């Protein structure tokens, strides 16, 4: 057994999150579908949210595993934890419209504000500092964290892959919230949740995706991250 395999949620003092209902807003996109699939496969109750119930239900039916589909507002209301995986250009509008439904919820923002030109991907710095900080500003009654930025949508959606060996950097200002998100990440075989700082440090984590895209293009890979000596 490797050192990583021996590090489990109970021994690290992380909570049991197996009974939480998780919704994925933007769950019809590649990243959202992948996260929904992996969490449901791990036994989590998952609801896919979309702007239209028809798209959400179609994606849920295609994925199976007991995943349900609903319009974004319904998905938010019916969950304990909400993963935001919407496109960056719709991030502010989506969250603004769901402020009431997301009140009191643990919100996990995994959106990467990126632009693309002939030289490839580059990071965009939102006025608030990061997508996660924008979410926190728009959702004052929610507990906002940031995580799941560096996962390959291709690997997440590939049913032939049993384990995804990567670390998930989790940021937030609420220890209970970040512990919960770390534990959720560790429901997926091969993943480990690592606390990576307060929400004010989310920008550089979101921006690093631009570097990973460059790695993937050069090496024809689906690169992830490992944090050493932890």
Report whether 67 contacts 36 (CB < 8 A).
Answer: yes
Which of 157-182 are b and which e, b meaning 16 or more Cβ less than 10 Å from the residue's Cβ? Answer: beeeeeebebbbbbbbeeeebbbbbb
pLDDT at 192: 97
pLDDT of residue 28: 87
**For position 82, what pLDDT does the model report?**
98
Residues 39, 183 contacting (CB under 8 angstroms): no
Taking the CB of residue 201, how many other CB atoms lie within 10 A of it?
A: 16
Q: Which value, in Å, is the radius of gyration of the alpha carbons in the chain?
A: 16
Rounded Cα gap, residues 212 and 98, in angstroms = 31
Q: What is the DSSP letter of 67?
A: -
pLDDT at 115: 92
pLDDT of residue 27: 84
CA-to-CA distance for 171 and 195, rounded, in angstroms? 6
The pLDDT value recorded for residue 2 is 41
Residues of the chain with pLDDT under 50: 1-11
Give the bridge partners for 124, in sequence order: none
């Amino acid at each position: 057994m490797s050192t990583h395999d021996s590090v489990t949620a109970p021994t690290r003092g992380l909570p049991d999150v197996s009974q939480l209902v998780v919704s994925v807003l933007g769950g019809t996109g590649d990243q959202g579908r992948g996260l929904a699939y992996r969490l449901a496969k791990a036994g989590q109750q998952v609801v896919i949210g979309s702007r239209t119930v028809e798209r959400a239900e179609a994606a849920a039916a295609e994925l199976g595993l007991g995943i349900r589909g609903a319009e974004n507002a319904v998905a938010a209301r019916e969950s304990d934890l909400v993963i935001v995986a919407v496109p960056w250009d719709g991030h502010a509008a989506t969250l603004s419209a769901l402020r009431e439904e997301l009140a009191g919820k643990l919100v996990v923002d995994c959106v990467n504000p990126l632009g693309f030109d002939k030289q490839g991907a580059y990071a965009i710095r939102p006025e608030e500092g990061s997508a996660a900080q924008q979410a926190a500003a728009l959702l004052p009654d929610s507990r906002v964290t940031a995580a799941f930025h560096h996962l390959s949508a291709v690997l997440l959606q590939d049913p032939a892959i049993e384990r995804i060996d990567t670390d998930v950097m989790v940021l937030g200002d609420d220890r209970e919230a970040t512990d919960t998100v770390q534990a959720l990440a560790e429901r997926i075989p091969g993943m480990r949740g690592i606390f990576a700082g307060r929400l004010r440090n989310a920008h550089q984590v979101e921006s690093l995706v631009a570097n990973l895209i460059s790695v993937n293009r050069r090496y024809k890979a689906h690169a992830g991250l490992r944090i050493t000596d932890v």
